[in-house]
Amino acid sequence: MTTTPQGNEKHAVPGYVRDHGTHPPLDYPGYGSTALRHPKRPLQLLPHLLTEVTGPLLGEGPIGELDHDLTRQHAGEPQGQRIIVHGRVRESDGRPVPHTLIEVWQANAGGRYRHTGDNWPCPLDPNFTGVGRTITDAEGRYRFVTVRPGAYPWKNHDNAWRPAHIHFSLFGRAFTQRLVTQMYFPGDPLFFQDPMWNSIPDEKARERLLCRFDYENTQPEWALAYEWDIVLRGRESTPFESEVDDD
């Protein structure tokens, strides 16, 4: 339910929860590339005003029939373990996020991206691009079909390997809700040395990036299923009050 603006506060709008404790810091020495790419000045508090509580509603955009199926974008099928990745997108107040765009990208089964910057010695798969998108349904549900991505080496530290992951990008309904993240698979032995995973301060929050093996939705003689729910920031329960008025 939305808050009805009252009296002089005719443009008062409910803000969104500030979930600082959930996210990794911008300065994280374990991930070397953060060194020159994090602001050193303290961030300036931005109240949630009209530009922040609105956002692009991209649910009506042109989505191809096969955009959610990364195994059917070429003449043949890609190599690797075929998987279904599905789940729900909700806000932290429990409401589903319907009709919102989700974009994904990933490495192939051997751990190589179809990107000019990725040239480690693992073959590209002519039948796999590794890019998909979909729109959540009225209940906030989404579903992709793909192959399980491989782990791959990188140069952050000695013998560094990224755990298998799929990149996810989400919009929600408001500029405040924009989220880009990565989904991981349960039981991956590479987490202990992965700075992306370990940059999230709270262990319980890290585990929210893990999908769950879903036997119930595993399709006989076709594909394993994994379920992953995504939670975007929800609204604060009280309307925003003029915090910027103080001196």
Positions 105 through 144 that interact with another protein (CB under 8 A):
105, 113-115, 117-118, 129-131
* Total residues in contact with another protein, by rule CB under 8 A: 90
Q: Which of 162, 173, 233, 235 is catalytic?
A: 162
Q: Which is nearer to another protein, 124 or 218 (CB)?
A: 124
Q: Which of 16, 28, 152, 226 is catalytic?
A: 152
The full DSSP string for 134-161 is EE--TTSEEEEEEEPPPPEEESSSTTEE
Binding mask 13-52 for another protein (x = CB under 8 A): x---xxxx-xxxxx-x--x-xxxxxxxxx-xxxxxxxxxx
User: What is the distance between the alpha carbons of residues 220 and 217, in angstroms, rounded to a whole number?
Assistant: 9
User: What is the distance between the alpha carbons of residues 42 and 45, in angstroms, rounded to a whole number?
Assistant: 9
Binding mask 189-228 for another protein (x = CB under 8 A): -------x--xx---xxx-xx-------------------
Which position among 63, 79, 82, 95 is part of the footprint of another protein (CB under 8 A)? Answer: 95
CB of 13 to another protein, least distance (A): 6
Please report which helix (H) or strand (E) contains residue 246, including its range.
none
User: What is the distance between the alpha carbons of residues 79 and 59, in angstroms, rounded to a whole number?
Assistant: 31
Name the nearest CA neighbour of 213 among 178, 184, 243, 172.
184
Point out the residues that are catalytic. 113, 152, 162, 165, 167
